[in-house]
A and B are shown apart, each in its own frame.
Chain A
Amino acid sequence: MGAANNATPIDGLMIARSFPMIGSRRSLRVLERNALVYRAQWVMLISGFFEPLFYLLSISIGLNKLVGPLPVHGQFISYAKFVAPGMLATSAMNGAMIDAIFNTFFKLKISHVYDALLATPLDVTDIALGEVLWALARATMYSASFIICMAALGDAGSVWVILCWPGAILTSLTFSCMGLAACTFMRTWQDFDLVALVQLPLFLFSGTFFPITQYPQWLGAIVSFSPLYQSAALLRGLSLGQFDWIMIFRAGYLMAIALFGLYVAARRFSKILAP
């Protein structure tokens, strides 16, 4: 025993410390910081609540009249009921991506807010995790208001629409982690045009407006890799109350991307902030 005690101990704590993804409880301070800063910019916070209303009204009043009912899993549903969960997924994506990419880039490379944070007990991983928690906090509020609007306008497929709430929060998690990772690769504001180049086709071709059964099979296969497609399909299933084992796969896919994104983000943050 005596000799073994002198060896360098490799206990669970050391492994946790060297694993670059896990943040600590201190990441909550980043959440607190963002809430404080946003309190000074409450207009921006409020605007997030109006976005879903505009989306939904445009569909319910406009498109729904022009486009007839669609078959989904052998069941005919109104276009509004088809498209509303897709809009929820899109809105979760946009909200998470824009905050993760633009605001984080600003703090990372322009205002050097994170440099100041690293002079405190916070670690780089705490910062990355804190930003993700912040994205989730916002998503929780915004998606709730979206779902309430959906129900009020009669665009909800069933009472199971309530399950779209956690579904939308998961979607935000995925895109916020991806956005966080992506923003670390941005060098100048010009690079943000690339974000639009990814975001727009994702938005247009991910089966949010129409079923991907419209596509030739090979194209449908490609689209099925899109996290937005997986999210929209998941949320649609939940809204309509059409449960299926594939939903677990979809949720798992979104979760896997989230973890990968967070891992990349934490590593890149370390490289940039504490070279």
Chain B
Amino acid sequence: MSETHILEARQLVKRFGDFEAVKGIDVAIDRGESFGFLGPNGAGKTSTMRMISAVSQPTSGTISIFGLDPRFDGPEIRSRLGVVPQEDSLELELSVRHNLEMFGRYFDLPRRVVRERATELLEFTQLSERANEKVDNLSGGMKRRLTIARGLINRPEILILDEPTTGLDPQARHLLWDRLYRLKREGVTLIITTHYMDEAEQLCDRLVVMDQGSIVAEGAPRVLIEQFSTREVVELRFITDDHEEYYERLAPFAERVEVLPDRVLLYVNNGDDTLRDVHAAHITPSSALVRRSSLEDVFLHLTGRSLTE
């Protein structure tokens, strides 16, 4: 396989009985890249992650990681990967430090090395002060950071993060993003799944949008937004039980109109101008907001459905 790609998957399929979770996707990720899988719950992201982290085998298709085949070299591949799963799955009975040290031992690292790295990583994830506490006592954000520290104990070349900030408050998210930027600067390849478009825009150089087991778009976040959306979006809310009834009246004002249960989205190039025109036509929304297009809009355009509901 190609030398330039640190990870390459071809025609990847995962079937569970009659259900096809992943329907023949192709992905190629470069060394040092920060790559995202964006999609709603059930899009097949986690199944894909489990295959590319050499845990579960694809039903069909091939994967090459570091030029190795997970069917035969699972342990070798995993020794060079870091995985931050969706569920923290920490050892609740053990202290923060012991969680890290024990995890390092699974990689056959000598005790002395494991102790040094645990100290470094606790510093890096700002958990040094909690080192001797039981994991049970930590907040959600701290547990998440510990799970990331755990994923780094073997100094992985690729760090795979499955929904890293789900359920965290904004402050905890930003701290986590900051740590991920630093890893990226150090040359670690990041593979991230998320259903938060702001996270994907912040963290990913390039991403694929997944829906119902297939890839529906691929590219850099900015490029995808330019390609599949307009520059700006006007969000209008009306006092009504059914926003659908405004579709006809608003259609002439925009390139494209999307009706959501609680609001109407107008895809336009200049939001302020459009809003003025709408008001001039005596259409009076209860609230109006002009914003830039985001990946959410890309997703809505590609699938006809909203990403997070």
B221 adjacent to chain A (CB < 8 Å): no
For A40, list chain B residues within 8 Å (CB): 93-94
Q: Which of A60-68, A119-127, A151-159 contacts B (4 or more CB under 8 A)?
A: A119-127
Q: Who on chain B is nearest to A126 by CB?
A: B75
B76 adjacent to chain A (CB < 8 Å): yes
Q: How does the 8 Å CB contact mask read for A103-143 relative to B, with 1 for contact and 0 for none?
A: 00000000111011111111100000000000000000000
> Do A113 and B72 form a contact, CB below 8 Å, given A120-B106, A120-B107, A121-B106?
no
Would you call A122 and B93 a contact (CB within 8 A)?
Answer: no
Q: How does the 8 Å CB contact mask read for B51-65 relative to A, with 1 for contact and 0 for none?
A: 001011100000000
For B82, list chain A residues within 8 Å (CB): 119
Would you call B89 and A116 a contact (CB within 8 A)?
Answer: yes
Would you call B107 and A41 a contact (CB within 8 A)?
Answer: no
Task: Please measure, in the bound complex, the distance between the C-alpha atom of A26 and the C-alpha atom of B91, giving whole angstroms.
Answer: 19
* CB of B245, distance to nearest CB on chain A (Å): 46
Q: Which of B32-40, B97-105, B193-201 contacts A (4 or more CB under 8 A)?
A: B97-105
Would you call B93 and A41 a contact (CB within 8 A)?
Answer: yes
Q: Who on chain A is nearest to B160 by CB?
A: A119
Would you call A121 and B76 a contact (CB within 8 A)?
Answer: yes
Select which of B103, B108, B154 is within 8 A of A116 by beta carbon. Answer: B103
Task: Please measure, in the bound complex, the distance between the C-alpha atom of A270 and the C-alpha atom of B135, giving whole angstroms.
Answer: 28
Would you call A123 and B75 a contact (CB within 8 A)?
Answer: yes
Beyond known contacts A40-B93, A116-B89, A274-B56: 20 more, CB 8 A cutoff: A26-B75, A29-B108, A32-B102, A36-B94, A36-B98, A36-B102, A37-B93, A37-B94, A113-B89, A113-B91, A115-B85, A116-B85, A116-B103, A117-B106, A118-B78, A119-B85, A120-B106, A121-B106, A121-B108, A275-B56
- Chain B residues near A (Cβ < 8 Å): 16, 50, 53, 55-57, 72, 74-76, 78-79, 81-83, 85, 87, 89-94, 98, 102-103, 105-108, 150-151, 154
